């Protein structure tokens, strides 16, 4: 008896059977079903879109088993290695699968960027191949931290992250503390980033334990970030909408990093402008100034142990490990996460991490907000859509902000649910 895939290749199935196949509903083993879906997605103009939807929402555990198997067909492995189809939980397994050629891994090493490069640096296969390390080193999209880590792999010696020649030499460490966002201690024209120290802060065993656990779990990532300054996604004052404050906080951040003022531009004092008469705005400006003085470890500590206002700012930190620390705070409320799930000025890594925490994944408002957020990674949004109510699927299908893929799948699911309800 011919395999189902052979029948599909020879166009021996009816349109109804092809639709069933593109939905992943054939009675065949999962690996064979995925192979069929990949073929339809790549070679069938009529049902290819449906097959791509099905593959994007394919069960994570099943997909991991398939991509880790050396016997999986090359076409399936290469489909999930396409940049548009990459999934964080599958990528490390694909890198280690011996059926994925070194040529393909080398191609990825020279073209990918961001978190995918981080995954390649952590890959045992890459770490054991000098050629792949050299291919990574030739990637023009590397960050300074990634470049340093790759050079460490190649040379076997620790490499410092390059610093611009215009940067001032670091001052010797001084004992400082933060009190009401003002620096107490020896004054100097330039101050290094501070680590948060609040001597009068009441003890919070739960937050202390969470902080220790976070530092232990992410020690390598934290060290790799070095002393990266606070650079929020979307700027400092999206909520206040007042341009002058941006200059004020920029001046404060410049003082904290030791940058000398330009001779052609008058020095700006790190104070809020007079137009901020709202006490809440003034309070927020003070918090921003305090955060701007903290190093990465200080901001992580504040993210885990700080206030709601501080978490709202730090979740937008451009340093991924700081933003993710906010989600590990035992003080964070469901209401805060519901708001984070709607934001477009946060890293995609934050939106990806929210549903990975069981507490937040069980909150319907969080799930709904993530699927309606155009910044949510496509694979995350598609995976969450099965949890939406019929009415929300209808609204999502007409939401022009989200991708066409999300809208089409929402419309298809809405029609299926509506038909099922009509039959009852």
Task: Give the chain's length.
Answer: 424
What confidence score (pLDDT) does residue 159 get? 62
Residues 6+ apart with CB under 8 A from 135: 106, 109, 110
Question: Do both 249 and 118 map to the same domain?
Answer: no
Question: Do both 203 and 138 map to the same domain?
Answer: no
> Which tokens belong to 92?
């490390």
CA distances from 297 to 41, 86, 224, 293, 333 (A): 46, 31, 12, 12, 23
Question: Do both 328 and 234 map to the same domain?
Answer: yes
**The last residue of a domain, from among 111, 139, 155:** 155
Dihedral angle computed from the Cα positions of residues 375, 381, 384 and 389, in that order, rounded to the nearest 10 degrees: 80
SS (H, E, C) 45-114: CCCHHHHHHHHHCCCHHHHHHHHHCCCCCHHHHHHHHCHHHCCCCCHHHHHHCCCCCHHHHHHHHHHCCC
Question: Do both 287 and 236 map to the same domain?
Answer: yes
What confidence score (pLDDT) does residue 166 get? 40
Q: 3-state class of 30 per DSSP?
A: helix
The model's pLDDT over 185-241, given as tens digits with 9 standing for 90+, comes to 333 333 344 444 443 445 577 887 888 788 878 878 888 887 788 888 875 544 433
The model's pLDDT over 331-357, given as tens digits with 9 standing for 90+, comes to 999 999 999 999 999 999 999 999 999
Residue 267 in domain: yes
CA distances from 370 to 339, 351, 385, 391 (A): 10, 7, 9, 16
Residue 123 in domain: yes
Chain center to CA of 314: 14
Question: Do both 389 and 274 map to the same domain?
Answer: yes
Q: 3-state class of 294 per DSSP?
A: strand
Is pTM beyond 0.85? Reply is no
Q: Which residue has the tokens 């201690």?
A: 185
What confidence score (pLDDT) does residue 199 get? 38
Query: What are the residue ranges in the chain where pLDDT is below 70?
Result: 1-2, 159-203, 235-285, 424
Q: Are 107 and 123 in contact (CB under 8 A)?
A: no
Question: Do both 150 and 227 map to the same domain?
Answer: no
What is the domain extent for residue 52? Answer: 4-155
What confidence score (pLDDT) does residue 283 get? 58
d(C-alpha 86, C-alpha 31), whole Å: 18
Q: How many domains does the chain have?
A: 2
Extract long-range pairs of 244-248: CB within 8 Å, 24+ residues apart: 244/273, 244/275, 245/272, 245/273, 245/276, 245/285, 248/272, 248/273, 248/285
């Amino acid at each position: 008896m011919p395999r189902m895939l052979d029948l599909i290749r020879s166009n021996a199935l009816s349109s109804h059977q092809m639709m069933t196949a593109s939905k992943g509903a054939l009675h065949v083993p999962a690996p064979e079903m995925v192979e069929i879906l990949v073929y339809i997605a790549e070679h069938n103009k009529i049902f290819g879109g449906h097959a791509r939807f099905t593959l994007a929402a394919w069960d994570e555990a099943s997909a991991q088993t398939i991509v880790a198997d050396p016997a999986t067909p090359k076409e399936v492995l290469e489909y999930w290695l396409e940049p548009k189809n990459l999934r964080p939980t599958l990528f490390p397994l694909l890198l280690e699968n011996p059926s994925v050629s070194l040529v393909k891994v080398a191609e990825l090493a020279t073209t990918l960027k961001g978190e995918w490069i981080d995954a390649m640096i952590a890959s045992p296969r890459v770490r054991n191949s000098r050629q792949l390390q050299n291919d990574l080193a030739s990637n023009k999209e590397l960050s300074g931290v990634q470049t340093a880590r790759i050079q460490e792999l190649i040379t076997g010696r620790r490499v410092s992250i390059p610093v611009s020649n215009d940067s001032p030499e670091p001052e010797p460490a001084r004992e400082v503390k933060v009190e009401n966002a003002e620096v107490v201690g020896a004054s100097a024209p330039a101050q290094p980033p501070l680590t948060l120290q609040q001597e009068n802060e009441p003890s919070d065993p739960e937050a202390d334990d969470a902080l220790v656990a976070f530092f232990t779990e992410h020690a390598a990532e934290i060290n790799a970030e070095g002393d990266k300054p606070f650079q929020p996604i979307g700027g400092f004052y999206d909520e206040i909408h007042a341009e002058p404050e941006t200059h004020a906080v920029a001046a404060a951040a410049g003082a904290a990093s030791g940058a000398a003022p330009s001779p052609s531009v008058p020095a700006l004092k790190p104070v809020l402008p007079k137009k901020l008469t709202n006490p809440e705005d003034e309070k927020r400006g003070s918090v921003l100034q305090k955060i701007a003085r903290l190093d990465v470890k200080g901001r992580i500590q504040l993210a885990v142990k700080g206030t709601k206002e501080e978490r709202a700012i730090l979740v937008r930190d451009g340093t991924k490990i700081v933003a993710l620390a906010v989600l590990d705070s035992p003080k964070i409320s469901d209401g805060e996460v519901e708001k984070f799930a709607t934001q477009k000025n946060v890293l995609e890594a934050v939106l990806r991490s929210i549903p990975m925490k069981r507490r937040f994944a069980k909150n319907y408002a969080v799930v709904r907000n993530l699927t309606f957020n155009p910044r949510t990674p496509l694979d995350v949004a598609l995976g969450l859509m099965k949890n939406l109510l019929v009415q929300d699927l209808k609204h999502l299908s007409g939401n022009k902000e989200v991708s066409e893929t999300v809208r089409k799948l929402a419309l298809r699911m809405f029609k299926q649910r509506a038909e099922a309800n009509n039959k009852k």
